Amino acid sequence: MTAEVRVDMARSQVFGEVAELYDAARPGYSNALVAEVLAYAALGGCAAVEVGAGTGKATVPFAELGTPLVCIEPDPRMAEVLRRNTARYPGVRVECDRFEDWQPGGRRFGLLLAASSWHWADPERRWNLAHAALAPGGAVALFWNPHGVRDAELRTALAEVDGRHGMTNTPHSELASSYGEVPGSSLGLDGWPEAECRRDGRFIDLHAVRYRQDQYYDTDRYLGWLASLSTYRVLPADRREQVLAETAQVLDAHGGGIGMDHLSELFLARVR
């Protein structure tokens, strides 16, 4: 295991300490995205498996449409909230395990989905594990939520706070106008995860879709979201509180909140 993977594993395990905040503050996923995934997968009654289900931000909209789901979540504190959020859906099963250690046990699924979690899976194994979990023709759906700040002056002021504290890849790092119009371009020129999937060679019908909507966060709601992110969770508590306090000062000085473009990037593929 590389040092990079070990660091990512450590960061992926910080969410459970704020499971309730994560559930309350994190944005969800649009109904249009869920409908697109289900139309592509054409499950026909087959079950789906979700990697890194968290507290169910993506699980619930799929379950509401009757999708049978096996949810893999490594943190027992997150899994507890997930079970609570999905208790009314008898087709949802929660299995507390790391994706890398989880065993399908002879099961094969019609869809593997990962909502803002695929980057945590071991890059040396994730496509092998996905292929092993899927039935022939089974679909992969990976999606995540980049954000861009609409106000350039506000973005500059927040960048000054981030720079003082060595913060990178925060939700306000980018201007909304920087993303362009090409689905998947929010992750830069390397084309991840499409290029990675294409190199694997066992998947076809690769397809990328983008959804966009306006979002406004008042100061308290935005700070709650930031406090649930691994970028902030890994900081010592006193430093985290200082960064959040300075961020709040900037937001309050700019009207008490932040307007953002909320993108939902979706990548689809299926087993040959």
Find the CATH number of the domain harbouring 76: 3.40.50.150
Please confirm whether the linkage preceding 193 is cis (ω < 30° from 0): yes
Residue 7 lies in a domain: yes
Residue 256 lies in a domain: no
pLDDT tens string 6-52: 335 455 567 788 899 889 988 899 899 999 999 999 999 899 999 99
pLDDT at 185 (0 to 100): 63
pLDDT at 3 (0 to 100): 39
Supply the range of the domain harboring residue 97.
Answer: 3-146+180-214+262-271
Residue 249 lies in a domain: no
pLDDT at 180 (0 to 100): 77
Q: Which residue has the tokens 């023709």?
A: 137
Residue 239 lies in a domain: no
pLDDT at 222 (0 to 100): 96
Q: Per-residue confidence of the chain (272 residues) as pLDDT tens digits?
A: 443 433 354 555 677 888 998 899 888 998 999 999 999 999 998 999 999 999 999 999 999 999 999 999 999 999 999 999 999 999 999 999 999 999 999 999 999 999 999 999 999 999 999 999 999 999 999 999 999 999 999 999 999 999 999 999 899 999 999 887 777 666 655 668 999 999 999 999 999 999 998 999 999 999 999 999 989 999 999 999 999 999 999 999 999 999 999 999 999 999 99
pLDDT at 190 (0 to 100): 61
Residue 160 lies in a domain: no
Mark 86-113 as b/e (b = at least 16 C-beta within 10 Å).
beebeebebebebbbebeeeeeebbbbb
Residue 154 lies in a domain: no
Domain count, the chain: 1
pLDDT at 13 (0 to 100): 62
Residue 255 lies in a domain: no
CA-to-CA distance for 16 and 22, rounded, in angstroms?
A: 8
pLDDT at 2 (0 to 100): 44
CA-to-CA distance for 115 and 219, rounded, in angstroms?
A: 25
What does the DSSP 8-state code read for residue 91? T
Residue 236 lies in a domain: no
pLDDT at 11 (0 to 100): 57
pLDDT tens string 115-129: 999 999 999 999 999
